[in-house]
Amino acid sequence: MTNSSFRARAVVPLVYDAAMLEAGVKSYVNWLPERQPMLLITGGTGSGKTYFILLLIGKLATYIPDAEIFLCDFKNIDFRKFADCSRHWAYEACDEGLNAFYESFQARLHGKDTTTNRKFLIFDEWAAFVLSHDKKVSEEVKRRLSTLLLMGRGAQHHLIIGLQRADAQLFPMGGRDQFGAILALGNLSKEQKLMLFPDCRDDMTATNGRGEGYLSFDGEPLKRVRVPTVTNVESLNAAIRDGLTR
């Protein structure tokens, strides 16, 4: 069957349930892109955000074998080892990466591309990227992102956005509300808790270390989580490289 509605459900083991881990049980919290197609990742310096994104790329490549992964690495530091991969764009070239993903989405929307595999755009340091442009260009890139957030699901185009602060002005037309999955690593300010988890902010009392935080899925209780530790870096790097070139 080629229709996307009949595709096997993608299940990505995302992070550990911290409560279960403290009880001595390694229990994964799974992400289902079909159910929550857009993922927002926030975390300041030292929170483990970059480490998690690397792990996530490897997981997407492993658990969704036909996934195409686009990586926009605006800071051009943490993902530089993958600069030779065909779907890696760094710093100023991130405009090309966003456009390539947007054009892929448009091709499916207008029936020019009849494939049904899932495509993921991972954009790290989105806020810095937006602020690097003049106002006119900035508004255009935000408009494209908002269109993808609002309509990408039907075309199997998924957005994963990483940034330190998820301010609403970075996502016009209510775009921030389209993230059905939100992972916040480290310790959020009261303002950020109110912004991202208004109904759960009073429950977020733990002091988080590196790789620890909270995960929210639409319609599900907030979970405190921990990012797994990579034991085989070479295997992870190979999976990332495969995901960015297949």
The predicted pLDDT at position 36 comes to 96
Give the chain's mean pLDDT.
Answer: 94
Look at residue 105 and tell me whether its pLDDT is greater than 90.
yes
Q: Could you tell me the domains of the chain?
A: 8-243 (3.40.50.300)
Model pLDDT for residues 128-171, shown as the tens digit of each residue: 999 999 999 999 999 999 999 999 999 999 999 999 999 999 99
pTM above 0.85, yes or no: yes
Residues contacting residue 169 through CB under 8 Å, at least 6 positions apart: none
